[in-house]
Chain A
Amino acid sequence: MTRVAWLVATKDLRIEARSRVLLWQVLPFGVIALLLSGLALGPTQAGKSSAGPGLFYLVTLFVTLLMINRSQALENAPGTKASVATLGLDPAGVFLGKALALTIELWITGLVLLAGSVLVLHTALVGTLQALPSILVTLATLAAAGTLYGALTQGGDGPATLLPVLTLPAFAPLLIAGERSFSAALHGGALWEWWVIVVVALVAYTAVGILLYGVLEES
């Protein structure tokens, strides 16, 4: 399973590195969305700083939706599904591989957006660095859940519009937990209870993905 996961993850990351969609499309979109959020809040620094964690996760949500669609679109290339079926690759490994690749892509995007929120939204650098572990775990959870929901929407009518409908109720608690732990790192407060929610969700989505991804790939 781990060998298959590694193969799929490196395949996805290589395609991403060659196509540079992340670099030239997704990242600019995220940075522009963050800038527009800053403009919408006006010139006061205090307002921007307190809204920083929420806006960071809002922009991350938009970017995540784009990247899930992108990740699943790779599997829809002609012959890809047939090749996977012919090779007899373990579906659990395929799920883990895709989730891992998406996690790495989200981490890269997240780091750029965090730098942007320090510069544009004036979130404190020390607090942002303290929040980094919780942000990385939240992004990994979004990737695991997104891989599962992304597979549910592919091949049907309008996957790009169906994906937000399916994922938003699932992402809402994760985004709230991520935002609260980021705010707690910036302004003080209980951090652990929000961490627990994100970690439990990560374990749950990974377990469900390992168990059920094969069912979604059945032909």
Chain B
Amino acid sequence: MIKLSQRLLGPVTLLLLALTFWLGLWVTPPDVVQGNLVRLLYVHPPIAWVALYVSFGTATIASCLYLWKRTRSANLDRIAYCAMEISVVFIALTLITGSIWGRPTWGVWWAWDARLTSTAILGVFALAYLALRRANDDPALRARRSAVFAILTAINVPIIHFSVVWWKTLHQGASVLTSTGQLNVHGSMLWTMLIGFVGFTLLFFWLLRERYRLEVKRDLKVAHSVDEALALRRREGV
């Protein structure tokens, strides 16, 4: 059952993403106020959802579990690292799609708005996480430091989430589901958006699985090359 779901993850993800693009570009009507620009919103919020909550959530949970001595394992460190690496891509996509939408709507590609700035800061945090991993060769030390840094970085996520409430700058507040639980999107627009959210979430887990496999292979190769080097030195010694 698990193997079947793993095998289906890729095709289902591609199917849902194709469905999102088809519904978003051809089936759904233009918005009364935004016109065809609304079509970008079928991908921007789902990408931001993955960037801020899914990938950072995964990295933070894996890091917390790594720091807890009972559950500490190299696999959790690998999951945190791979999730953070994917988050860099999704944060960049969030900023790019937001910028493309912002130019015709706000008249600028970039504004020093609280939501935009705090998201960009999160992107720098994610890059800093990758830099920190590069700076430490000892796997255990690298894993511990990365886990602490991931937790420190996660403090920024609630700040981004509530930034539109606390500062009330250019970026609009919650527009799909309001804080009172009221849905503001209906019909085919709502379904397209929901399929987009599921599709991009599955895309994250698909990428995570593939990246994780690569990381395991890389670690095995490093361990193997160390063993080979030791064997060579022993032979030289003889």
Contacts and interface: CB of A to CB of B under 8 A. Distances in A.
Interface of A: 148-149, 152-153, 155-159, 162, 165-166, 168-170, 172-173, 204, 208, 212, 215-216, 218
B25 interface: no
B132 interface: yes
Contact of A169 (B128, B136, B148): B128
Contact of A157 (B67, B124, B135, B147): B135
A212 B66 CA distance: 13
B141 interface: yes
A166 B128 contact: yes
If over half of B's interface residues share one DSSP class (helix, strand or loop), that class is named, otherwise mixed; here it is helix
Given A173-B121, A204-B155, A215-B144, A165 B128 contact: yes
Interface in B122-176: 122, 124-125, 127-128, 131-132, 134-137, 141, 144-145, 147-149, 151-152, 155-156, 159
A172 B121 contact: yes
Contact of B132 (A162, A170, A208): A162
A84 B127 CA distance: 32
A152 B132 contact: yes
A72 to B, nearest CB: 13
Given A155-B136, A169-B121, A216-B148, 17 more contacts: A148-B152, A156-B132, A156-B136, A156-B137, A156-B141, A157-B136, A159-B135, A162-B131, A162-B132, A169-B125, A169-B128, A169-B156, A172-B121, A173-B159, A204-B155, A212-B151, A216-B144
B66 to A, nearest CB: 10
Given A152-B149, A173-B159, A212-B151, A168 B124 contact: yes
B120 to A, nearest CB: 9
A156 B147 CA distance: 15
A168 B152 CA distance: 13
A45 B235 CA distance: 76
B217 to A, nearest CB: 24
B169 to A, nearest CB: 13
B128 A218 contact: no
Contacts of B124: 168-169
Contacts of A158: 135
B151 A208 contact: yes
Most A C-beta atoms less than 10 A away, residue of B125, B128, B151: B128
16 contacts: A148-B148, A149-B152, A152-B145, A152-B148, A152-B149, A156-B145, A162-B131, A162-B135, A165-B128, A165-B131, A166-B132, A169-B121, A169-B128, A169-B156, A170-B125, A173-B121
A142 B182 CA distance: 41
Contacts of A155: 136, 141
B132 A212 contact: no
Nearest to A164: B128
Contacts of A215: 67, 144, 147-148
Contacts of A149: 152
Contacts of A168: 124
Q: Which 10 A-B pairs have the closest CB atoms?
A: A156-B135, A169-B124, A156-B136, A157-B135, A169-B121, A169-B125, A166-B128, A165-B128, A152-B145, A212-B148
B135 A218 contact: no
